[in-house]
Chains A and B, each alone.
Chain A
Amino acid sequence: MSEPLLTLAGVHTHIGQYHILQGVDFAVPAGAMTVLLGRNGAGKTTTLRTIMGLWKPSRGQVTFAGQPIGGWPAHAIARAGIAYVPETMAVFSDLTVAENMLLAARDGPLEAARLDWVFSFFPALKRFWTQPAGTLSGGQKQMLSIARAVIEPRQLILIDEPTKGIAPVIIENMIGAFRELKRERTTILLVEQNFRFAEALGDWAVVMDDGRIVHRASMAELAGDSATQHRLLGLSLEAHA
């Protein structure tokens, strides 16, 4: 098993008076895709936001590439090499697709070869290049959100439920894009409720419930163990069958 790129040790996060993360411990190995699974309300999004520095951990350590990043501001964490694709997609509606991408390419100008690579998976972005992002469909916005995170190579990509509400044919494009990223040895931490999608791409599975990690396994192990799947993910398996 490769060295963990990201480690969370005993992480607690409070949002106001609510104690959401109650001691989260897990490691994300470099160069592979780890999927964070769990039902609604388990704390998966809070975990990603805590890693990204959008919420500060009240206790515990977050370590990335050997550096303790817990408590760092979000822009510093981004510059350390982490990209974030939020559940809400957060595309800038008044800005064009091109302008959204320009903002994302902060280390230099938009590189043509890399852009072509992005277009190969998400051709709609090329077609709507000069259109305001607000006029895109939901699936296209999701493509834009992912494209922003990969336009420049990053060490770790945090992705929150990219397939939610997206048409199956666009999900196929996403699978292709993520496979390419994995080939490049990009580390991905994916939050997903769609177990079929997770199974197709994930190498490692971490299951969360009530703000804690309740199961860790390789994806192959979990995929073969339908009893554990139903025990831990029960309703969400049926919902995304």
Chain B
Amino acid sequence: MPNAGDPGPSPRGDEQADAAAPMPRARGDYLPVLLLPGLAAAALAIMTWQGVPFSTWVTLTIAALAMGMMIFVIASGLTLVFGLMDVLNFAHGAFIAVGAYLAMTTLIPLAGWVEANSLSLNLLALGLAMLVAMLGSGALGLAFERIIIMPVYGQHLKQILITTGGLIVAEQLIHVVWGGDQKPMPLPTALRGAVIVGNIALEKFRLLAVAIGLIIFFAMLVLLNRSKLGLLIRAGVENGEMVEALGYRIRRLFALVFVAGSALAGLGGTLWALYRETLTASIGSEVIVLVFIVIIIGGLGSVGGCFLGALLVAQMANYTGYLAPKVAIASNILLMVAILMWRPQGLYPVAKR
């Protein structure tokens, strides 16, 4: 029973407490973004000092942008899966490979459109191939999540073991279905070659890859920041248990994000195979190490961090590949070490409970 002399609620008293209490809104944290132009400028400085032509630097930078976008497309799904579901999916490489192979298969009957010297027909063919790749990888992802991942939720060691096993099985199945030889993945006619600006050659396919990567990035930002689904994902990355206690089926959300991540891996694999114009079953394993470096640099669960990390890793690979090829392989590990020493949780860590 309420006691007689209890004071009622006091709004003015609350404001007194608040006058002293709140912190000012944090300024946007843009320092990590400066790494991008910083790295580019450093590379330009070194190249100029070594007498390398400016056009070479531009070519490498565009290549880095294109490669970065492709890695971002592949890595973005993985970072959300790890951030949201706390699942280590080493089989992400399988979705990359399966997507690429499905795209290749789709392009075979469309050879006429691919070889035609018409940009619209070429894009139509590629569009169809990418769609099939995404649907196929997405479907594989759904089956994978239900059958292989669900039994091992919360058990990291088992996840690593079983998903690595899944990757090996997937690669061998690709050998069975498509054969183990290296397949050609020719670029469509209108996308071959380069656009010449001054004395700089901008490869057409790389420009397309950059465009696609930017579209995906902005679409993800819009989805995450302007939709209720995005709200659920961002909240779930922080505290999935509380999201469930608010009445939402967190497991369904997990499955959705996993499928989307797998589909994006399939799209990224398609772009990667076209970029290199060849395709083998190990395409997944080749890319996956870079992908893990990217999501660790970016901060697990952060799409913005993943975008930045992908561009930085691609820059590193391209610049050191030209300037110091012997260091190139180690350069990305060194980049990761340097960034983790600065920010141990990645560039844009997502606040966890």
Contact = CB atoms under 8 A, between A and B. Distances in A.
Given A92-B235, A94-B238, A220 B1 contact: yes
B181 interface: no
Interface string A164-186: 00010110110111010000000
B351 interface: yes
Contacts of A102: 228, 231
Interface stretch (A11-19, A63-71, A135-143): A135-143
Contact of A131 (B1, B7, B25, B246): B25
A137 B21 contact: yes
Interface string A149-176: 0000000000000000001011011011
A121 B13 CA distance: 11
A95 B232 CA distance: 10
Interface in A75-128: 75, 78-79, 84, 86, 88, 90, 92-95, 99-100, 102-104, 106, 120-124, 127-128
Contacts of A173: 9-11, 13-14
B20 to A, nearest CB: 9
B17 A175 contact: no
A232 B241 CA distance: 33
B26 interface: yes
Contacts of B1: 203, 219-220
B8 A92 contact: no
Contact of B2 (A54, A74, A134, A200): A200
A123 B22 CA distance: 13
Contacts of A103: 228, 231-232, 235, 243, 246, 248
Given A139-B21, A173-B10, A201 B2 contact: yes
Contact of B23 (A86, A90, A135): A135
B6 A148 contact: no
A94 B351 contact: yes
A4 interface: no
A175 B241 contact: no
A52 interface: yes
B248 A75 contact: yes
A94 B350 contact: yes
Contacts, number: 126
Interface string B1-38: 11100111111011111100111111000000000000
Contact of A123 (B3, B15, B239, B350): B15
A10 interface: no
Contact of A169 (B14, B26, B242, B250): B14
B290 to A, nearest CB: 27
Contacts of B22: 124, 127-128, 135-137, 140
Q: Which of B3, B14, B24, B350 has the most CB of A within 10 A?
A: B14
A94 B14 contact: no
B181 to A, nearest CB: 48
B14 A92 contact: no
A41 interface: no
Interface string B246-275: 111110000000000000000000000000
Contact of A200 (B3, B10, B228): B3
Nearest to A218: B1
A120 B9 CA distance: 9
Q: Which of A92, A94, A106 has the most CB of B within 10 A?
A: A92
B248 A123 contact: no
A182 B232 CA distance: 31
B245 interface: yes
Q: Which of B18, B23, B243 has the most CB of A within 10 A?
A: B18
Contacts of B9: 121, 172-173, 175-177
